[in-house]
Amino acid sequence: MNPWFSNYRSKQGTVGLGEAISYYTSLGFTVSLPLNDTQPYDLVIEKDNKLQKVSVKTTQQLNRSKKNFVVTLRNSGGASGKRIIRKFKNTTCDILFVYTVDDVRYEIPSNLIKVTNYLTLTKDWDKYIVKKNIIKTHP
C-alpha cells in the first residue's frame, strides 16, 4: 500500500517524519523525538550545539493552477466529539520541514512563515529546498 494514497493521513505523516529523521541523521545531527504528540513540533535536532524544534509537514495537494504544492499548516483533532483546529504559529518551532509526494524536501526557517493555515510552495520557497529527487507523480 502506498502511504501517500492511504485512507489514513497519519501514514503520510509517518513517511514525512521518517524522511526528516533520515535527512537530519545523514547530516550528523542528533535527533530526539518527543515522548507524545501533544506539542506543536515533531522532533528536536541538535544543530551547531543548539537545540531546534522541527515541525514536519507532508503534502500531495496542488493549488488550483496545478503548478505549486500547498502545505496544510494547521492541525486538527479532538476528543469527546469536539473538533479543535490549531493554527500554525511560527514561534512554536524553529524549522518547518516539508516533504512532498514528488520527493522534494524543504527546510524553512519558521520565522519566515507569516500564514497560519496553508503555505503555497511557490518559486520563492525554492531556496529552502534541501533535497530534490523528482519523481513525476502528477501530469
Is 81 within the bounds of a domain? no
Q: Single out the residue of 113, 100, 105 nearest to residue 132, CA to CA.
A: 105
DSSP 20: H
Q: Is residue 10 part of a domain?
A: yes
Q: Would 72 be classed as within a structural domain?
A: no
CA 38 vs. chain centroid, Å, equals 16
As a whole number, mean pLDDT of residues 59-64 equals 91
With respect to residue 35, please indicate whether it lies within any of the assigned structural domains.
yes
Residue 26 has pLDDT above 70, yes or no: yes
Q: Indicate whether 109 belongs to any domain.
A: yes
- Asked whether the beta carbons of 101 and 60 are under 8 A apart, the reply is yes
Instruction: Give the range of the structural domain holding residue 36, as residue numbers without chain letter.
Output: 3-60+90-114+125-132
What pLDDT does residue 39 have?
86
pTM of the model: 0.86
Residue 84 lies in a domain: no
pLDDT confidence band for 20 (50 / 70 / 90): very high
* Cα 27 to Cα 48: distance, rounded to the nearest angstrom: 11
Q: What is the CATH number of the domain that holds 12?
A: 3.40.1350.10
Rounded-to-integer distance, Cα 31 and Cα 21, Å: 7
Q: Does residue 95 belong to any structural domain of this protein? A: yes
Averaged pLDDT, 95-115: 96
Count the domains in the chain. 1
Cβ atoms within 10 A of the Cβ of 135, count? 9
**Domain-embedded: residue 14:** yes
Through-space distance between the first and last CA atoms of the chain, rounded to whole angstroms: 21
| 43, burial (CB in 10 Å: exposed 0-12, middle 13-18, buried 19+) | buried
